[in-house]
Amino acid sequence: MLQQPVSTASPLNRFPLWKYLLIVALVIISTLYALPNVFGESPAIEISLRTGKPITSVFADNIKGILHKHNVSVLGIDVHDKNLEIKFADHDVQIKAQEILEKNLDKQYVVALDLVPNAPNWLAAIGASPMKLGLDLRGGMYFLLEIDMQTVVHNQLNSYVTSIKETLRKSEIYYKSVLLHGKNINVSLRDASYLQKAEEVLAEKYPEFKLTTDKTAPSSLTVNAKESYLKQIKSYAAQQVVQVMRNRVNELGVSEASVAKQGDNHVVIELPGLQDATRAKQIIGGTSTLNFLMVNENADVEAALKGNIPLGSSLYYTKDGKPVVLKNRIILTGKSVVGAISGYDQQTNLPAVHIKISGSDVLGFSRVTRENIGRSMAVVLVETTFNKVKVNGKLENRTRTTNKIISVATINSQLGNSFQITGLSNEASRNLAVMIRAGALPAPVQVVQETQIGPTLGAHNIEMGALSITIAMALVVLFMWLYYGLFGLIADVALLLNVIFIVAVMSILPGATLTLAGIAGIVLNVGMAIDANVLIFERIREEMRNKTSLQFCIHRGYEKAFATIIDSN
């Protein structure tokens, strides 16, 4: 005989209308935003002007003609306000088209690799787009960079040596020497009578340092940087490296690239979809800068080769190995360069880098070139590299700087804030222009880890991930249907909606990226979701053994299993 539950004010398992409407709305919205993942994406190239001006339909027709001339088939060309979007069938055609367009277009255009959704325009109109895929699924390049913090600290502390000297002179405190030793600046005064005044002046002027004295050397003072200040120096340097690397990555033309600080002295760079490993490493790991020096035309090169180098000069070599004696005074550095575009010399048609300079050094540079019309000036490429050496059984980084003359030219007229450099290959001029535009690095960086995942492997990972989710879903659906019947089918529908909700949220969130680990998480979530249903259904079965009504069994099953589900999760 059935036992009826205690009468309640409202029927069991009946809910307010707004709850049903909320569920329907969530299902519709989630389905719409998950739908673009079904249509997938196509490899594409986006072309835009560096000036940000709109792209015209005439330009689009020219691009179509260039690609047709080189037998490159396209799926479609769309003109948007400030960029041109070209779709391709696969990645190989995309890479081929990029190479062709970069050779045929002026440097005022940015040619960027991209992936564009194949979803209908009405989905794009509501902001629906596919999930962003990580490197292990999309393919691309991964770099782990190490910043030489020893050089950062040394350069920063070394800049204080001149400043301390100037401060002491202005305060009429006479000294013998101010030298940097490691992380300490040692100040040797002319006699001990200046010690107290020097301590007072330096303590007030440089609060970021602590001063120590030695009784055995009453006329000496040691200036030590505080730990908090050293951390600040390193943190600021890391931020500068991240910013410079972001600028360089933008020049590579990679969408959805990621540049982030990792730890105190590492930077992680992820470049989804990029497969040109050689160029990426040249741009990411490059530490090139420029110095402009005057040629010592009075020097005897043969004598210099034998070690007899004039005072105030040094011996350099061109890329062909030709020796040239240059004056040590640097009349302009790469830090003053604010613009650089690779192109061609109008007279010789040889590769050139068009330079634009700004800042306090412009007037000095212009004056020097005016005073040296008819004389030769050299452009020196300065490159810094890392070397691992063993010190006391431990591997330590040592930096090595190489100087190579890339151009020696006669100054025909006074130079202003813009001029050009020749003497480089086409690729070298492009890379140098990119690094100059990105800005100077505050310290040398080294690529300590480099990983390349091809698009084929990425596609295979996606295929296997989708297969694993499908198999997991199929097995769970089959089990629930066979074991629990109608209840099992209802749980299967809820399970499918669960996966749709996850995909929709991943597609909507701007910073969310799906990786192989994420696919494993979805498979795990499927199992955990069914685990909750099993607990509920087994509880309903227990209630049904008590011969109560079905609605009451369902109500009690959900109510009693809730605490167990919360505890298990």
Please name every residue paired with 351 in a beta bridge, in sequence order, or none if there are none.
Answer: 344
Q: Is the pLDDT of residue 8 over 70?
A: no
In the chain, CATH 3.30.1360.200 sits at 287-439
Distance separating alpha carbons of residues 15 and 338, to the nearest angstrom? 66
Give residue 67's pLDDT band: very low, low, confident or very high (50, 70, 90): very high
Domain 150-230: give its CATH code: 3.30.1240.20
Q: Is the pLDDT of residue 505 over 90?
A: yes
User: What does the pLDDT read at residue 561?
Assistant: 76
User: What does the pLDDT read at residue 4?
Assistant: 47
Q: Is the pLDDT of residue 266 over 70?
A: yes
User: What does the pLDDT read at residue 26?
Assistant: 94
Structure tokens at 401: 């700087």
Distance separating alpha carbons of residues 121 and 529, to the nearest angstrom? 34
Give residue 451's pLDDT band: very low, low, confident or very high (50, 70, 90): confident
| In contact, 296 and 325? CB cutoff 8 Å | yes
Q: Any idea what DSSP says for residue 221?
A: E
Print burial letters for 273-309: b (CB count within 10 Å at least 16), e (below 16). bbbbeeebebbbbbbbbbbbbbbbeebeeeebeeeeb
Distance separating alpha carbons of residues 340 and 335, to the nearest angstrom? 12
User: What does the pLDDT read at residue 316?
Assistant: 92
Beta sheet of 351-357, edge-to-edge order: 337-344, 351-357, 418-422
Say what percent of the chain tops pLDDT 70: 87
| In contact, 139 and 156? CB cutoff 8 Å | no
Mean pLDDT along residues 51-74: 87
Distance separating alpha carbons of residues 332 and 518, to the nearest angstrom? 51
Q: Is the pLDDT of residue 6 over 70?
A: no
Q: Which residues contact 178 (CB under 8 A, 6 or more apart)?
A: 161, 164, 165, 168, 185, 186, 187, 188
User: What does the pLDDT read at residue 139?
Assistant: 74
Q: Give whole-number Cα distances, 2 to 331, 525, 553, in Å.
A: 101, 38, 12
User: What does the pLDDT read at residue 358?
Assistant: 75
| In contact, 245 and 235? CB cutoff 8 Å | no
**Between 122 and 434, where is the model more confident?**
122
Q: Is the pLDDT of residue 325 over 90?
A: yes
| In contact, 189 and 198? CB cutoff 8 Å | yes
Distance separating alpha carbons of residues 195 and 220, to the nearest angstrom? 7
Structure tokens at 73: 């088939």
Mean pLDDT along residues 129-156: 83
Q: Is the pLDDT of residue 395 over 70?
A: no
Distance separating alpha carbons of residues 513 and 523, to the nearest angstrom? 16
Q: Is the pLDDT of residue 143 over 70?
A: yes
Please name every residue paired with 384 in a beta bridge, in sequence order, or none if there are none.
Answer: 401
Q: Is the pLDDT of residue 368 over 80?
A: yes
Q: What is the mean pLDDT of the chain?
A: 81
User: What does the pLDDT read at residue 190?
Assistant: 87
Q: Is the pLDDT of residue 104 over 60?
A: yes
| In contact, 414 and 421? CB cutoff 8 Å | no
Q: Is the dihedral of CA 86, 88, 94, 99 positive or negative?
A: negative
Distance separating alpha carbons of residues 438 and 434, to the nearest angstrom? 6
Give residue 7's pLDDT band: very low, low, confident or very high (50, 70, 90): very low
Q: Give whole-number Cα distances, 291 to 151, 245, 333, 392, in Å.
A: 19, 22, 5, 36
Beta sheet of 41-49, edge-to-edge order: 76-79, 83-87, 41-49, 109-117
- Do you know the residue count of the chain? 569
Domain 41-117: give its CATH code: 3.30.70.260
Closest of 550, 524, 551, 554 to residue 536, by C-alpha: 554
Beta sheet of 323-333, edge-to-edge order: 313-317, 323-333, 289-295, 376-391, 394-410
Mean pLDDT along residues 419-433: 73
In the chain, CATH 3.30.1240.20 sits at 150-230
Distance separating alpha carbons of residues 33 and 181, to the nearest angstrom? 61
Mean pLDDT along residues 429-443: 69
Mean pLDDT along residues 61-66: 90
For the beta carbon of residue 391, count every other beta carbon within 10 angstroms: 8
Q: Is the dihedral of CA 24, 29, 32, 38 positive or negative?
A: negative
pLDDT in tens, 163-198: 888 888 888 888 888 888 888 888 888 888 888 888
- Separate counts of helices (H) and strands (E) for the chain: 17, 22
Structure tokens at 17: 């209308």
Distance separating alpha carbons of residues 546 and 549, to the nearest angstrom? 9
Q: Which class is domain 287-439?
A: alpha beta
Three-class secondary structure assignment of 363-412: HHHHHHHHHCCCCEEEEEEEEEEEEEEEECCEEEEEEEEEEEEEEEEECC
Q: Which residues contact 100 (CB under 8 A, 6 or more apart)?
A: 66, 67, 70, 72
Structure tokens at 480: 């629930």
Distance from the Cα of residue 328 to its chain's centroid: 36
Q: Radius of gyration of the chain from Cα atoms?
A: 34
User: What does the pLDDT read at residue 564?
Assistant: 75
User: What does the pLDDT read at residue 525?
Assistant: 83
Q: In degrees, to the nearest 5, what angle opens at C-alpha 383 toward C-alphas 425 and 344?
A: 25
User: Which secondary-structure segment (H or E) carries 73?
Assistant: none
Q: Any idea what DSSP says for residue 509?
A: S
Minimum mean pLDDT range among 195-204, 241-250, 453-462: 453-462
Mean pLDDT along residues 35-40: 88
Q: Is the pLDDT of residue 515 over 60?
A: yes
Give residue 113's pLDDT band: very low, low, confident or very high (50, 70, 90): confident
Q: Is the pLDDT of residue 508 over 70?
A: yes
Mean pLDDT along residues 283-290: 69
Distance from the Cα of residue 362 to its chain's centroid: 31
Mean pLDDT along residues 109-132: 84
Say what percent of the chain tops pLDDT 90: 8
Mean pLDDT along residues 533-555: 81
Distance separating alpha carbons of residues 223 and 78, to the nearest angstrom? 63
User: What does the pLDDT read at residue 276?
Assistant: 63
Q: Is the pLDDT of residue 398 over 50?
A: yes
Print burial letters for 175-192: b (CB count within 10 Å at least 16), e (below 16). beebebeeeebbbebeee
Q: Which residues contact 480 (CB under 8 A, 6 or more apart)?
A: 487, 488, 489, 491, 492, 495, 530, 533
Distance from the Cα of residue 510 to its chain's centroid: 17
Q: Any idea what DSSP says for residue 497?
A: H
User: What does the pLDDT read at residue 399?
Assistant: 64
In the chain, CATH 3.30.70.260 sits at 41-117
Q: Any idea what DSSP says for residue 53?
A: P
Q: Is the pLDDT of residue 108 over 80?
A: no
